Amino acid sequence: MRELSESEKLEDVLKEKSLCVVDFFATWCGPCKKVSAELDVLESKHADTLFVKVDVDTHESLAVEYSVESLPTVVVFKDAVKIGSFVGASPKLSEQIAKLLV
């Protein structure tokens, strides 16, 4: 999964593909690692969807802009518009995200 670099702007990345899944995470967050692994599996099944990781410690302003208050937070965008948001490491997270990727 691609990680947003310090020089990239998320708003530009969201325009690269119609569907985009953004994983807001932190390296110190245990549940974030579980969610990241689930998203890697989803990414392999949805080649038409862009999956991006955003480290909230590096990109604090994005965490504020996208109202990330807890980690992990996964936000799904369609044509750069937010269509879903999930907080935490729910057992059905992959299933819930996959429903939005059709």
Number of domains present in the structure of the chain: 1
CATH number of the domain that 70 lies in? 3.40.30.10
Say if residue 102's pLDDT is above 90.
no
Structural domain that includes position 55: 2-100
d(CA 83, CA 72) in angstroms, rounded, equals 17
| Residue-by-residue DSSP string for 2-39 | EE--TT--HHHHTTSSSEEEEEEE-TT-HHHHHHHHHH
pLDDT at 86: 96
pTM: 0.95
Sequence-distant (6+) residues with CB within 8 A of 64 are none
pLDDT (tens digit, 9 = 90+) per residue, 4-61? 998 899 999 999 999 999 999 999 999 999 999 999 999 999 999 999 999 999 999 9
Tell me which residues are annotated as active site. Answer: 29, 32
Say if residue 91's pLDDT is above 90.
no
